[in-house]
């Protein structure tokens, strides 16, 4: 039993490490606004928190005045941003991996997470699927109220895409879908999930999964606490055939999204950029070590002349003392030895200098 328990712990640890490594290269992805009609506002995390706090402090009262930055076509959104639309307003959110979200009127959608792996260049001769995302991604959206139509690219293994609602969460994989959550203000809210293509797995608040395949939908009215805005009870029915009206509405929104994608451009995140920066950081310590070695060499050069000068001066003094003390040498036929000259200040010993790159040219 102990061995089995240890194996389970080790397996869990390995799975955690692999999961962390899988997202180690991920970067926050860009999202751009397009096809804006009416007033659409972007709220950062602090602004959204302030609005939520105001509603919680005065439940059941009129909605606070709109806050945030007015969005324009081409504006960039990132993780933690919230998008609010007014009456008669709408916007298409184009993600850099090709997926889109059409946000309808009187809606509020938070971008909780949008991470993408660096885009890799396709192999020579490889067939590129225009309907598939270019790299692994992770997307988490939160529809507080309103409606969205999503057109999600075919996802790579390991990718995930989910939309949270007060009723439950929808897990998406390469799907065209519509989500609605409309509180009435009278203790009820209308909720629906329609799948046009692909498949969606909906999980209620207890975690029970319900598959909603292509051309199917679920519709339900739930009980809501108007003071807190929380869903109190809900029973999710079985999926039924999608209504022609919902099917047509989804197709119209998808056509609008396709136009938005064609008119939007992004700068793809490249793995090479990250690697280059890492290599540059590795080179910096090497440069510092080179400078330290050059400094040591210069100090050695400076110390060497001082030592030689001392030795020369000492020798000269000894020679002079000997000349003064000894008797004159007898005359012989041998030519006299050359007399030592007056001591000359010694110059620094010139050592060969080896030039290295960055050592002064």
| Residue pLDDT, tens place only, 133-168 | 999 999 999 999 999 999 999 999 999 999 999 999
Domains of the chain and any CATH numbers: 25-119+131-267 (2.60.120.1440)
State the pLDDT at residue 178: 98
CB neighbour class for 44 (10 Å; exposed up to 12, middle 13-18, buried from 19): middle
**H or E stretch covering 291:** helix 271-325
Quick count: other Cβ atoms within 10 Å of Cβ 76?
13
The pLDDT of residue 195:
97
Instruction: Please report which confidence band the pLDDT of residue 284 belongs to, taking 50, 70 and 90 as the band edges.
Output: low
pLDDT band at 264 (very low <50, low <70, confident <90, very high): very high
Helix (H) or strand (E) holding 286: helix 271-325
pLDDT digits (tens, 9 = 90+) for 12-53: 444 443 444 444 478 899 999 999 999 999 999 999 999 888
pTM of structure? 0.69
The encoded tokens of residue 143 equal 């529809």
Residue 208 has pLDDT above 70, yes or no: yes
Kindly write down the DSSP assignment for every residue of 97-124, as one continuous string: TS-EEEE-SS-EEEEEEEEEPPPPPPPT
71/131: higher pLDDT: 71
């Amino acid at each position: 039993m102990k061995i089995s328990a240890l194996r389970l712990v080790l397996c869990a640890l390995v799975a955690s490490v692999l999961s962390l490594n899988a997202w180690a290269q991920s970067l926050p992805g860009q999202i751009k606004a397009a096809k804006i009609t009416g007033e659409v506002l972007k709220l950062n995390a602090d602004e959204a928190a302030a609005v939520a706090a105001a509603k919680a402090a005065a439940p059941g009262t009129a909605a606070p005045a709109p806050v945030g930055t007015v969005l324009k076509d081409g504006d960039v959104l990132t993780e933690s941003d919230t998008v609010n639309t007014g009456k008669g307003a709408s916007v298409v959110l184009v993600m850099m991996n090709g997926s889109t979200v059409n946000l309808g009127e009187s809606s509020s959608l938070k971008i909780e997470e949008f991470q993408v792996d660096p885009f890799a260049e396709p192999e020579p001769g490889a067939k590129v699927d225009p309907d598939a995302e270019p790299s692994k991604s992770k997307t988490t959206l939160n529809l507080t109220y309103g409606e969205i139509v999503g057109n999600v690219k075919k996802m790579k293994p390991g990718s995930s895409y989910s939309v949270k609602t007060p009723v439950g969460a929808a897990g998406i994989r390469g799907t065209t879908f519509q989500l609605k959550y409309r509180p009435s203000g009278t203790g009820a809210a209308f909720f629906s999930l329609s799948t046009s293509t692909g498949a969606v797995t909906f999980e209620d608040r207890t975690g029970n999964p319900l598959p909603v395949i292509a051309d199917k939908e679920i519709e339900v009215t739930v009980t809501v606490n108007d003071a807190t805005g929380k869903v109190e009870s809900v029973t999710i029915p079985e999926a039924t055939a999608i209504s022609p009206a919902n099917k047509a509405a989804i197709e119209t929104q998808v056509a609008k999204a396709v136009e938005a994608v064609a008119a939007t451009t992004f700068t793809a995140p490249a793995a090479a950029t990250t690697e280059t920066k890492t290599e540059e950081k590795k080179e910096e310590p090497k440069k510092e070590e080179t400078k330290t070695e050059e400094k040591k060499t210069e100090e050695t050069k400076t110390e060497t002349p001082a030592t030689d000068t001392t030795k020369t001066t000492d020798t000269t003094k000894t020679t002079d003392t000997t000349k003064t003390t000894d008797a004159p040498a007898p005359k012989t036929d041998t030519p006299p030895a050359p007399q030592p000259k007056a001591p000359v200040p010694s110059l620094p010993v010139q050592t060969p200098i080896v030039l290295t790159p960055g050592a002064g040219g």
